[in-house]
Structure formats: structure tokens, C-alpha cells
Amino acid sequence: MKLFIDSANIDEIRAAHEMGVIAGVTTNPTLVAKEGRPFQDVLRDIIDIVDGPISAEVISTDAEGMIREGEQLAALSKNIVIKIPMTVEGLKAVKALTKKKIRTNVTLIFSANQALLAARAGATYVSPFIGRLDDVSHNGLELIGTIAEIFARHGIDTEIIAASVRHPLHVTEAARLGAHIATVPYKVIEQMVKHPLTDIGLEKFLADWEKARAAQQA
């Protein structure tokens, strides 16, 4: 399973990129709004850092508007993937953009049937939201497993991006259940790095090294 970063913050994206762990980026209108900068400026900065799929979401709710926005955003870079909400109009836009060879990521997926419809419309990626399902007492991870099973059984090559990731266990389980990608907030990437035994172990290695060095010098 590959990892994307779910962020529009340039410092976070740069830091994750420098670690060498991310293969792409997903943004959404909420994440971009937090940055307080024009959308296309944010995207241009991301394009300069990451050479991989970068999801940019449309704001229009009608297919015609989504297609127009999608074409404008896709013109920024070959790496831009158009994020389209899971609606009837969204499916029409996915069909049209796919015909124009523009890649799409269908977002706000909360059921297996939505994922199947998006895939059949031609989506490159589907983004089931794990955390938001957990928030309403539905099992988000179970949905990842179900979609993975359906796509594998029917030879569907649309890739599953586990989204709305809230903690490291979401990432581990999404990988186990067959997601192709997890898009992970920077905070969760940091949490994934950490293990108390790593910190304790490193502290002891360095202390032992210092002790031996002091003994040699005495």
C-alpha cells in the first residue's frame, strides 16, 4: 500500500516528502481554506515539491461546471487528479473527464455501491472515508475490505484510497484489508514514526556509547 499525505500545508508536505514516504497528495476545500491562499498558488507549490498524483477538488455541483474546473486544474500539471464528489452530476463529470484522459478521484464515498458506481463511471481512484464512518458508529475499515473484495473479484482496476484517516491503526488495517493507498494527515505520519521502545533503545545505545568513551579516556 502506498502513502499519500492528506494536507494542503506546504511545510507538512515538504517534511513528509523529505522523509521519502509519500507518493502523492490529496487536498480538499477545507484543507485549502485553512491555508488562506489562492487555490492555484497552493497547487503550484505542491506540484513543485511532489512528483506524484495530486488531488485537487472541484467546487461546482453541476457536471458542466465540474468538467470546466477539472480541465482548468488538470492544465496545471500532468500530476493533477480531479477530485469529484460522489453525486449523479459527479459521475457524469467522471465519465466526461475520463474520456478526455483526465484522471479522477471520487470522494465522499461511504458505501460499497458508491465505490462500484464511481469505478464503473471510470474513476481512477475512489476515496472511502474511514474516520467519518467511525464517527457515526459505522465500521469504516470494514468498508475498505468490502470494496477491495468487490474490486478484486470483478477485475476492477480503480484504486482504493483509504481517506479520513485518524490514527496509525487505520493505516495498518487499511493496508491489511487491501487498500492501494492511504492518505494520511501529517500528524498521523508523525505518530506512525514513533514507538516508545525505539526512543528508550536509542537513549540506551547513546548512553552506553558515552560510558565506554569516558572509560577509554580515563
Query: Closest separation between CB of residue 165 and ligand E4P, Å?
Result: 6
- Is 129 a binding residue for ligand E4P by CB under 6 A? The answer is yes
Binding segment (CB under 6 A) for ligand E4P, from list 34-42, 129-137, 142-150, 196-204: 129-137
In order of 26, 68, 78, 173, the CA distances from 41 in angstroms are 15, 19, 16, 35
Residue whose CB is less far from ligand E4P, 30 or 217:
30
CB under 6 A: which stretch of 13-21, 41-49, 88-96, 125-133 binds ligand E4P? Answer: 125-133
**Which residues, numbered 13-52, are part of the site for ligand E4P (CB under 6 A)?**
26, 28
For strands 2-6 and 54-57, give the pairing. unpaired
132 binds ligand E4P (CB under 6 A): yes
- Pick the closer one to ligand E4P by CB: 97 or 170: 170
Residues serving a catalytic function are 83
Q: What are the E-state strand segments in 40-178? A: 54-57, 80-85, 104-109, 125-128, 159-162
H or E element in which residue 136 lies: none
Q: Which residue has the cell 461511504?
A: 110
What's the rounded Cα separation, in Å, for the pair 140 and 143?
Answer: 5
Q: Which residues bind ligand E4P (CB under 6 A)?
A: 6, 26, 28, 107, 127, 129, 131-132, 163-164, 183
